Structures are given as structure tokens and as C-alpha cells.
Structure 1
Amino acid sequence: MSWGEELWDQYDNLSVQTHRGIEFLDKYGQFIKERSNIETEYASKLRRLVKTHQIKKKDDEESQLSVCKAFASMTQEVTDLAGQHELIAENMSAQIVKEIAILLKELKDERKRYLSEGAKNQTALNNALTALDKAKKAYEKAYREAEKAQDNYQKADADLNLSRAEVEKARMISTTKTQMCDECKTEYANHLQKTNELQRRHFSELMPKIFNQLQDMEERREACIQNFMKQSAHIHRQVFPIIDKCLEGVIKASETIDPKEDSRQVIERYKSGNMPPEDIAFDDLSNPRPESENGVQRGSTSLNYSNSIKSETLRGTLSAARFKKRGGIFGIFGSNKNNSDDSKDDYADLPPNQRRKRIQAKIDQIHTQFLQETAVRDGLMKMRQAYEQNNALGDPNSVEGQLSENGQKMEKLQTELKKFQNLLQDVVDGKPYTPSAQKKSHRNSISEDSLSRSASESSVTNNNHSNTNLNANNSNSNGNHRSSNSLQTVINHTNHNNHENTHENNDSNSPESGISTSHLSLPDAEFADADETEFDDPLPALGTAKALYVFEAQSEGSIPMSENEEFEVVELDQGDGWTRVRRLDHQEEGFVPTSYVELTLYNNC
């Protein structure tokens, strides 16, 4: 069925119908556009939600709990979900909204062209009908005038009173009118024939062709809408696999929650180390209470003892904050006694367990500073040696002042280290003996001799390995360096040489060279032994490490590794060129060369 056959006389209605169809396509385009905006807005709100509820940096202790890590993983998956909704909006805008705009313009132009042609044909038909009606009226008028002239001629011919001239005049008028009537009749017949032919062609050929074109246009428009609907569904369906992976990631994140481990971490974080208070003694008021020498009743002693027990129990807990007194006006202009107590470097105001952690952290910090100063000393020694070998580089005596200052700093660090080691030993001795406490205390006790020995070995090793590079640098120097070089220049020079030595060691120990790595100096044997045998709980993983080369462990405390093998990083390089790692099956733990592995640290490290 076609519009040209069935709707041959519905030009106006078809014009309205095609106009409504184009309006519907425009509305559908607006629908897709608004839906894309909703997808974009939804993705933006998801991202804003994640940003609002992210765990802040100040809550690093809380972020170590498995539930917080799972929540962070879940928020990352939600961010990925937001990205998929943004992808939906982007594809809909680029593939559908844009195509609808192009199609709308094409359909409007096409409809305008068809309707213009139809209006032209309709005007031609109307003009033909008007001319036909005009010719018909002229023929009718001429016919009436011819009949009237014929009647007048007949009357004049029958009237004997009229002259022959008057009768001839009446005959001539009748003949003229009859000729004019015949001409109008002929013209009317011609117009009628042309009009009938045009009308027949108009309704059987011209207008059906236009109506069929409008029908094709409408069917194409609806087919495009059908295709757009399918395309929008396909765009949405394409992200389903990724959305499913995101949801699967949320499920996996939830499975990583370990309530027992979180409870253990909470205990480790807030454990005060204080003993529970003893039973309160019964105070029998019926017995006479003799006064002491200073007039204070004996019962007050037990009360004071109870109060001291209560104060000692509350110290270091959350409830203790409510019992602190605030001095001065609103605590602003009060005494600085509390502040000075809080700033004590022996952490005597903390509970035993928290104090032990703080002291251990201080010892680790001093150890790191000591290694840094050792590296500075090695650099200064190398610089003095270079000056001695080539006076053009500078005066060797100019380094003495910096070496002296460096020695004072190292002595100060050793003094602080000994102090905090003694404090740590006092804390450990003050607790009931347990094997784990004894092991941890043994590990935490870093002697001055071990640090000095480590520094000396590092100095000797660096000096031996850097002579070749140093001589090469000396030969290429232009002699413009002087003793006025700053300490930062010394450090950079040392780091540069160490970096070159590391590359030389890597090249010599790579699988292609086949040379053993036993000459590399491991960290203190005391640390290695303590870490291997005296740890109850495994160290937390700081990241992952991937082996770049094959490493055959030939030194005590190191572990072998194969190429592309993966480990967990449990201790970062402290400047000695070694990183402590643990196998993924937690069966073995030890040191590997830092330059042999590729490190990937976690965000919280």
C-alpha cells in the first residue's frame, strides 16, 4: 500500500503528518541529549561522593585497617563506574545526538522540496480549473447572445412593416453572435480537454509520486529512530562487562576485610601496657584509725593509693582526656608545664607500650640519620683524597672543617642512640618477661659498634669501588673546583659515584657476566640475624618487587631470586644498596640488591 494510491487527495493531511514526524525526531534527539547530561551528572556526583568520603591523610592509622583498605578499593571501583557512565554519555552525544541533528536538517530540506513541488502542481491544476470555468462562462454568455440575436432576426423577417435593410441588419447580428458562440464553444472545449488531462495526470502521476517520496522519507525517519534506539542500548551494553568487573572488584574488596586482624591492630595501637588495678582493700570504719605522725589518718593512704591506681590506669586511654585540667583563662594563658612535659624526648608521659613504640621509632630515625652522615663522611673523604692526588682541584685542608663537623654530628647521634637504647631496655625490663618481648628487645637494641662497623665497612667499600671512577673524573676535570664547594656538592658527588658503582656492580653481576655477587656488603649481621630468627609477627608489606636479574645468594642474610620473580617489600633500602623482601608464600625472607629489583610501593608508603 502506498500513499500515492490510497491518499491521493490528502495533500494537506500528509503535510501535517510529515511535520509531526520531524518534530518527534527532534524530541527524541532532545531525550538522548538530556539522558547524556544525566549520565554525566551522575558520574560527576559519584566522583564527588568518592572525594568527599575518601580517608584523609591524617587518618593514616585508621587506613591500615583491612576494612579501611577495602573501603578504599571499593571507592576506586566506584570511580571506575563513574568513568563508564561518562563513556556512555560521550558515545551517545557523539554517535546519536550528532547524527540526529544531521538527519533533522536533511529531512526538513527534503520535506520542503517535496511540498514545494506538490504546491506547484496543485497551483497549476487550480489555474487550469479557473481557466476552464472562465471559458465555460464565456461560452454560456455567447450562446445566450446568439439565441437572442437569432430570435430577433426571425421576428424582423416575419414583420412586414420593417424594411429590408433592417431585416438584413438583424440577420448580420445573428450570424455574428452565432460565430462568436462557436468560437467560445471551441475554446471551452479546448480548456476542458487540457484541464481533464492535467487533472488526470495530477492525481494519477504527479501527486502520487510526491506522496510516495514523503512516505519513503517518513519510513526512513522511523527506521533511523529504530536504529538510534538500538544503538543507545548497544552503547549501554558495551560497558556492562567493565561495570561487572567493577562490581566484582567491590566484592573482592569486601572479602579482604579481616575483623580479627583489625582487632589485633587496634590492640597494638591503643595498648597501654599498664597492669590492671589490684583489688581495693576493705576499710573497716569500726576499728579505730590511729593518726600518723603528721596528723593524716591511715585510711587516707589507701584512698590515695586507690586514686593513684585509677590515675595510672586512665593514663594513655581515651577517657584520660576528660580528666585533664585546663589552666589559665580557657587554657590560653596557662602555664607551659604541660607542654614541656609533652615535649620530653624520653616519652615518660606515655603508657609503656606506646612509649616503647615511640622510642623504637626514634632509634630507627637516628639509625637513618647515622647512615646519611656516614655517606657524607665518605664523600668528604673521597674529596680530600682527590684534592691530595690533584692539587688543582682544591686544598685538602679545606675539607677538614666539614669532616670535624661531621664527626661531631656522628658522636652526637651515637650518644642519642645509646640514650634511647637504654630507655628502651628500661621499658622492656619494666614489663613481665615474655619470649616475644625479649626477642623484640633484642632486635631493637642496636649497638654503637654495629653502626660504626656498618659505617666503616660502607666507607671502605665505597672507597675501594670508587677509586677508578674518581681518577677518571679527576683526569677530565678542568681545575676550576675549589675548597669553597658546599656540603650539598659533596653529597651530590658521593651519590654520583655510588650510582656509577651500583651500575658497575649490576653489570658485573648480571646474568651475562656470570660473576658472583658475594663482594656486595650486606647490612649489619646483627640486623639480619635478629630479623630472621627473632620476629614473631611478619613485617607489613610496603609494596612489591620484581626481579630484573638472576641473583645467587652467597652472603649470610641474602636470598636467591630468579628473573621476573615477585616478592613483597618489607624494608626499604637504608642507603647500603640492599632491600629486604619476602617471598609471596611467606616461606623465606632476606635481602636482595636494590639495583636488581623494580620496586612498586603502596600509596601509604
Structure 2
Amino acid sequence: MSWGTELWDQFDNLDKHTQWGTDFIERYAKFVKERLDIEQTYAKQLRNLVKKYCPKRSKEEEPRFTSCLSFYSVLNELNDYAGQREVVAEEMAHKVYGELMRYSQDFKAERKHHLQEGRKAQQHLDHCWKQMDNSKRKFERECKEAEKSQITYDRLDNDINATKSEVEKAKAQFYLRTHMADESKNEYAAQLQNFNGEQWKHFNNAIPHIFKNLQDMDERRTVKLGETYRSFAEAERRVIPIVSKCLEGMVSAAKAVDSRRDSLIVVESFKSGFDPPGDFPFEDFSQNLNRSGSDGTISSTPKGEREREAPGPRSDPKPPVSRTKNKLWLFGKKPKSPTSSPPLPPSSSRPRSNVHIFPPTRYLSDIKTTVPRKPQNLKGLRRGAPSLEDYSHLPPEQRRKRLQQRIDELGKELQKEIDQRDALNKMKDVYEKNPQMGDPSSLQPKISETICNMEKLRSEIHKNETWLSEVEGKQSSRGDRRHSADNHHHTPQGRESPEGSYTDDTSQEHQTPQKRTTPPKPGQPNPDPHEFDDEFDDDDPLPVIGHCKALYSFDGQNEGTLVMAEDEVLYIIEEDKGDGWTRARKQSGEEGYVPTSYVEITMEKNSKGS
């Protein structure tokens, strides 16, 4: 089916059809452009999303939990997926959109050329037809003039009154017009023959050829569109294997999540290495009571022993230290003191009836080494100060892991230095055997520097191994003492000191369970107040949890107590834990213990029930 034979008279419609083809190419190209813009925007947004949720971290802050690692693996796979979307956009831009724009320009130029040829052929045919039509009109006009001259000649020739000259003149005119009509006839015949020939050529050669070119051009346009459709799909299908790998990577990351391993990592990250506190002993205070005769019993406690124990207050199983203090000891978090002063206590506060006047420092003499010494500059760590070189600010288990990690890193650096030294020595040997290759003495400074670095690294490794041995030795000794305490669980396992330490020294209580330690009295030697300063010193003040008003004056003669005057207002920083003592702070910042029954206490609302 050819346009040249079937559509020989549809030049204008073919002109419109090819113009529609041009518009369709441009419309499809616009669609592809918007599509690749969407892909580029999508890829950019995906990369920004990955960047937002996967920020740069230092080596120490890298997550170790499988759930976090899997999430970052998913983000990496998503980033690769975004890269594939960019590949799709690039493929569409070059192989589809770019190709369409180039072909559209070629299509427009070719269409313009063919249409110009068609119009030129039509103009030539119109010119031939115009010449033929003019010759035809001239022939018709000459024939009419010849007929008129013939009529005039016949009329004069039959008129007896006409002169001979008139007849001859009419005859000559007739012959002239007849001759001109014959010439016009011949010219018309020639022009007609020429037009018919040109018309045959036009509709059998020129127009079919031009229309055939237009048909081929339009068919190539259709084929090109089909190829771009295929390229459009191929751009997507080409990245499917890599996209599938990205999705498989996400699935593998999901399978890699291990709850048990995460739990172990939590243990490894936060295990302090401290031993849990032992059981509190049962302290029978009823043995000092005198039985009445009606009970049919008598006191089993000797009188002299009762007299020795009577002046001292009862010993309470719970020492004067808050639970918050214990948690601060273990986890290294301590709240700051508020900057505002608490309000004055109400006058309706009721003092307590029991008074136990003995300082909490009585427990300091019982403190042993069950709990490791608290690093003196733990407060510096809490404030974000640089960590200690020996990691003594960390709990034992964390300290051991950090030291072992540092030893491993130093060992790797040492191995690098050893390899470098060996390589330099080999190079030096080569230079000595072949002096033309280099000067052996030029390597000596580098070898000396490497050996110096090795010695420094060995010194660092030895120092860290010493600290590690110290930590492991302490942990081993604590484990031994813990095991020994478990074998004697019927004896008291220790008490908590006012500063949060524990003691497992139970020999005295085990031998004389009915004798209790009494607080030091005036005149007796007090424990050294600075004996444990390096263990419990902390510049961060305890938070204020309330305030109190002194009902009576207190001289605070014993170590650890606080002198207060009657009606003096103090800050409460630690509640009474059942031993009759409350820890307070003066306006000047001085801290100490005061008898709970000597003060009228008002607690802050947000501290109640804590």
C-alpha cells in the first residue's frame, strides 16, 4: 500500500499528518524528560534520607548492636538503590530523551524537504496548465475571429453592389484570420501535449516518489518511537539485577538481627565487674531488753555487757546513705545541685521522738575492699573531662576491656614497626652489596627512628599490661572473697558504708555477735577523716531534696556531724535511712550529719516517694 498511488490527491492531509507526527515525537520527549526528572529527584531524596539517618560517627561511637548494624546495612543498600535510580535517569537522558531530540530535529528537516519538493512539483504542473489554458483561449479567440472574417467575405462576395476592392480586402482578411487560427491551433495542441506529459509525470513519477519518501519517513518515525519505548523499558530492566541484590542485602540484614547477641553486647558494654552487695545480717536488738517476771523469763544478757552497750545507740542494718548514692557509684551519674534555695519549712512539722546521736563515720572503720576504690577524678569524667590514661575512671570490667583493646592496637602498631625495620634492614643489606643502588648510611636514621618507636610501643604495652594484670588480679581476689562469703552465708555479709561501699569483714561480728560497735564518744580517737577522701571525694554536690529547721542546737563534736544552732535552716541532701541521722548542708556549703529528731523536715514534692 503506497501513499503515492492511493493518496495521490491528498497532499494537504499528508502535510497535516506528518506535522502531527512531529508534535507526537516532541510530546513523548517531554514525557521522558519529566520521567527522568522524577527519577533524579527520587534518587536525590533517597540519598538525602540515607545521609540524614546515617550521620558520620567517630570510631568510638560506632554502633555494635546487630539491630543498628542491620539498619545501617539497609541504609547502605538503599543508597545503592538510589544509585541505580540515578543510572535509570542517565540511561533515559542519553538513550531515550537525547535520541528523541536528535531524531525530532532530523524528522523536521526531512519533512520540510519532501514537502518543498511536492509543492515545487505542484507549482510546475500548475504553470504548464496555465500555459496550455492560455493557448487554448487564444486558439478559441482566433477561431472566432476567423469565423467573423469568413462571414464578412461571404456577404461581400454575394453582394452585387460591393466593389471588387472591398471583396478582395475581405478575402485577404479571411485568409489572415484563418492562418492565425491555424497557428493558434498548433500552439494549443503543443501546449496541451506538453501539459498532458507533465501531468502524467507529476502524478505517476514526482508525486508518488515524494509521497513514498513521506511514507518512509513516517514509518521510520513509528519504528523510532518503538525503539525508544523499548529503550525506556530496558533502562529499568537493566538495573533490576542490581536492585534485586540491594533488596536481597536488605533481607540479609534483617536476618542478621540477633537479639541474643545484642543482649550480650549490652552486658559487655555496661558490665562494671563489681560484686553485688551481700545479705544484710539480722541484728537482734531485743536481747538488751529485761524480761518481766510475768513472762517467766529473765534477760540472757549479762548486766555488765548491757551496761557497756546501753550508752550507744542501736545499730541499724541500713546505713545513712541514699540509694541514689549507690547508683551514682555504680553507673557514674550524679544529678547537679539546684541553683535555687528551697522555701522555709512550715511550723507544723513534727520532730521525731527517737534520738540517735552518733556519727555515720563509725562505719568507716568497717569498710574493706570489696568494692574497688572510686577513681578520684570520676567527677572529671562526669563533666566531660578527658579520660584517664589507665582508665581507672571506669568500672573494672570496662577498664579491663579498654586496656585489652589498647594492648591489641599497640601490638598491631608494634608489628608494623617491626616489619618496617626488617624491610629497612633488607634494603640496607642490598645497598651494602650493591653500592650503586644507594647509600646504606642514608637508611640508618630511619632505622634508628623505627627502633625508637618500637621501644616506645613496647613500653606502652608493658605499662598497659601491668594495669591489666592489676585489674585482673583485683577481680580474681574479689571473686575469691565472694566465694568465701557464699560458703559462710549464715554470718553477716557486710554493711553499707555512708559513702556507698560494702564490707565483708565479719570476723568480729562472727565471734561476738551480741556486741555492737558504738559511735565514738568525745575524748575517744576518731577515725582519720581524710582516710577515704581519695575514694569518695566528688566536687559535684548532692542535690537538695528538702530543707529543715533546727528545733534544738547541736554541738557536732563527733567526726562527720554538723554543728547547728536552734532555728537554723539547713538543706536536706540525704534522707534518714533508719539510723536516726539525716545528711544536711548549711548555707555556706558545709555538709554533715545531724540528728533527725533535732530538726523539723520539709521534703520537696518531686522528691517524695523517691
Question: Normalising by the residue count of structure 1, what TM-score does the alignment of the two structures yield?
Answer: 0.54
Aligned letter for 2:184? C
Match of 1:265 in 2: 265
Q: Which has the larger displacement, 11-20 or 31-40?
A: 31-40
Match of 1:525 in 2: none
Judged with a 3 Å threshold, the aligned counterparts in structure 2 of structure 1 residues 125 and 201 are, in CA distance, closer, same or farther, namely same
Match of 1:311 in 2: 325
Q: Name the % identity.
A: 35
1:327 Cα deviation from its structure 2 partner: 9.3
1:155 Cα deviation from its structure 2 partner: 3.7
1:125 Cα deviation from its structure 2 partner: 0.9
Give aligned pairs, total: 398
CA RMSD of aligned residues (A): 4.9
Match of 2:191 in 1: 191
Aligned letter for 2:250? V
Quote the Cα distance in structure 2 between the aligned partners of 1:422 and 1:346.
11
Whether 1:212 and 2:212 are equivalent positions in the alignment is yes
Quote the Cα distance in structure 1 between the aligned partners of 2:418 and 2:210.
95
Quote the Cα distance in structure 2 between the aligned partners of 1:29 and 1:264.
58
Quote the Cα distance in structure 2 between the aligned partners of 1:64 and 1:111.
67
Structure 1 residues 382-531: aligned runs within 5 Å: 418=466, 421-430=469-478
Quote the Cα distance in structure 1 between the aligned partners of 2:455 and 2:191.
126
C-alpha contact 1:359 1:424 (8 A) present in aligned 2: no
C-alpha contact 1:142 1:177 (8 A) present in aligned 2: yes
Quote the Cα distance in structure 1 between the aligned partners of 2:192 and 2:421.
121
1:521-572 Cα shifts (integer Å, max 9, x gaps): xxxxxxxxxxxxxxxxxxxxxxxxxxxxxxxxxxxxxxxxxxxxxxxxxxxx
Aligned letter for 2:325? S
Q: What are the ranges of 5 or more consecutive residues in structure 1 without an aligned counterpart?
A: 282-296, 329-335, 380-391, 436-605
Match of 1:339 in 2: 380
1:410 Cα deviation from its structure 2 partner: 7.4
Quote the Cα distance in structure 2 between the aligned partners of 1:34 and 1:345.
60
Quote the Cα distance in structure 2 between the aligned partners of 1:2 and 1:376.
83
Quote the Cα distance in structure 1 between the aligned partners of 2:100 and 2:482.
78
Q: What are the ranges of 5 or more consecutive residues in structure 2 without an aligned counterpart?
A: 283-311, 341-376, 424-439, 484-610
1:429 Cα deviation from its structure 2 partner: 3.3
Quote the Cα distance in structure 2 between the aligned partners of 1:134 and 1:408.
117
C-alpha contact 1:132 1:195 (8 A) present in aligned 2: yes
Match of 1:354 in 2: 398
Match of 1:54 in 2: 54
Quote the Cα distance in structure 1 between the aligned partners of 2:162 and 2:482.
165
Quote the Cα distance in structure 2 between the aligned partners of 1:49 and 1:26.
34
Judged with a 3 Å threshold, the aligned counterparts in structure 2 of structure 1 residues 183 and 408 are, in CA distance, closer, same or farther, namely closer
Quote the Cα distance in structure 2 between the aligned partners of 1:91 and 1:139.
71
Aligned letter for 1:39? E
1:344 Cα deviation from its structure 2 partner: 5.2
Quote the Cα distance in structure 2 between the aligned partners of 1:408 and 1:373.
11
C-alpha contact 2:273 2:475 (8 A) present in aligned 1: no
Q: Secondary structure at the match of 2:320?
A: helix
1:9-43 Cα shifts (integer Å, max 9, x gaps): 11122122123213323443444455445434433
Match of 2:182 in 1: 182
Judged with a 3 Å threshold, the aligned counterparts in structure 2 of structure 1 residues 244 and 415 are, in CA distance, closer, same or farther, namely closer
1:182 Cα deviation from its structure 2 partner: 2.5
Quote the Cα distance in structure 2 between the aligned partners of 1:377 and 1:203.
95
Aligned letter for 1:123? Q
Quote the Cα distance in structure 1 between the aligned partners of 2:393 and 2:155.
151
- Which of 300, 320, 324 does residue 336 from structure 2 map onto? 324
C-alpha contact 1:39 1:88 (8 A) present in aligned 2: yes
Q: Secondary structure at the match of 1:131?
A: helix
Aligned letter for 1:136? K
Aligned letter for 1:324? K
Quote the Cα distance in structure 2 between the aligned partners of 1:375 and 1:106.
67
Judged with a 3 Å threshold, the aligned counterparts in structure 2 of structure 1 residues 270 and 157 are, in CA distance, closer, same or farther, namely same
C-alpha contact 2:410 2:457 (8 A) present in aligned 1: no
Q: Secondary structure at the match of 1:145?
A: helix
Whether 1:125 and 2:125 are equivalent positions in the alignment is yes
Quote the Cα distance in structure 1 between the aligned partners of 2:417 and 2:188.
123
Q: Secondary structure at the match of 1:64?
A: coil
Quote the Cα distance in structure 2 between the aligned partners of 1:412 and 1:205.
100
1:257 Cα deviation from its structure 2 partner: 0.5
Judged with a 3 Å threshold, the aligned counterparts in structure 2 of structure 1 residues 34 and 372 are, in CA distance, closer, same or farther, namely closer
Judged with a 3 Å threshold, the aligned counterparts in structure 2 of structure 1 residues 427 and 54 are, in CA distance, closer, same or farther, namely same
Quote the Cα distance in structure 2 between the aligned partners of 1:98 and 1:405.
61
1:75 Cα deviation from its structure 2 partner: 2.6
Match of 2:78 in 1: 78
Quote the Cα distance in structure 2 between the aligned partners of 1:15 and 1:305.
104
Quote the Cα distance in structure 2 between the aligned partners of 1:393 and 1:23.
81
Match of 1:87 in 2: 87
C-alpha contact 2:381 2:393 (8 A) present in aligned 1: no
Quote the Cα distance in structure 1 between the aligned partners of 2:76 and 2:451.
51
Judged with a 3 Å threshold, the aligned counterparts in structure 2 of structure 1 residues 277 and 53 are, in CA distance, closer, same or farther, namely farther
Quote the Cα distance in structure 2 between the aligned partners of 1:67 and 1:54.
14
Quote the Cα distance in structure 1 between the aligned partners of 2:420 and 2:170.
146
Judged with a 3 Å threshold, the aligned counterparts in structure 2 of structure 1 residues 165 and 76 are, in CA distance, closer, same or farther, namely same
Match of 1:245 in 2: 245
1:445-466 Cα shifts (integer Å, max 9, x gaps): xxxxxxxxxxxxxxxxxxxxxx
1:436-488 Cα shifts (integer Å, max 9, x gaps): xxxxxxxxxxxxxxxxxxxxxxxxxxxxxxxxxxxxxxxxxxxxxxxxxxxxx
Judged with a 3 Å threshold, the aligned counterparts in structure 2 of structure 1 residues 369 and 113 are, in CA distance, closer, same or farther, namely closer
Aligned letter for 2:115? L
Quote the Cα distance in structure 1 between the aligned partners of 2:421 and 2:147.
142
Judged with a 3 Å threshold, the aligned counterparts in structure 2 of structure 1 residues 371 and 150 are, in CA distance, closer, same or farther, namely closer
Aligned letter for 1:312? N
1:122 Cα deviation from its structure 2 partner: 0.7
Quote the Cα distance in structure 1 between the aligned partners of 2:456 and 2:225.
84
Q: Secondary structure at the match of 1:305?
A: coil
Judged with a 3 Å threshold, the aligned counterparts in structure 2 of structure 1 residues 163 and 268 are, in CA distance, closer, same or farther, namely same
Judged with a 3 Å threshold, the aligned counterparts in structure 2 of structure 1 residues 186 and 62 are, in CA distance, closer, same or farther, namely same
1:66 Cα deviation from its structure 2 partner: 1.0
Which structure has greater helix proportion? 1
C-alpha contact 2:39 2:85 (8 A) present in aligned 1: yes
1:271 Cα deviation from its structure 2 partner: 3.2
- Larger RCO, structure (CA 8 Å, separation 6 or more): 2
Quote the Cα distance in structure 2 between the aligned partners of 1:5 and 1:312.
104
Judged with a 3 Å threshold, the aligned counterparts in structure 2 of structure 1 residues 413 and 355 are, in CA distance, closer, same or farther, namely closer
Quote the Cα distance in structure 2 between the aligned partners of 1:90 and 1:423.
60
Quote the Cα distance in structure 2 between the aligned partners of 1:247 and 1:149.
104
Q: Secondary structure at the match of 1:63?
A: coil
Quote the Cα distance in structure 2 between the aligned partners of 1:236 and 1:207.
44
Higher Cα Rg: structure 1 or 2? 2
Quote the Cα distance in structure 2 between the aligned partners of 1:404 and 1:203.
101
1:325 Cα deviation from its structure 2 partner: 4.3
C-alpha contact 1:156 1:167 (8 A) present in aligned 2: yes
1:175 Cα deviation from its structure 2 partner: 2.3
1:262 Cα deviation from its structure 2 partner: 0.6
1:184 Cα deviation from its structure 2 partner: 1.7
Quote the Cα distance in structure 2 between the aligned partners of 1:92 and 1:243.
17
Quote the Cα distance in structure 2 between the aligned partners of 1:27 and 1:90.
20
1:299 Cα deviation from its structure 2 partner: 10
Aligned letter for 1:78? L
Aligned letter for 2:10? Q
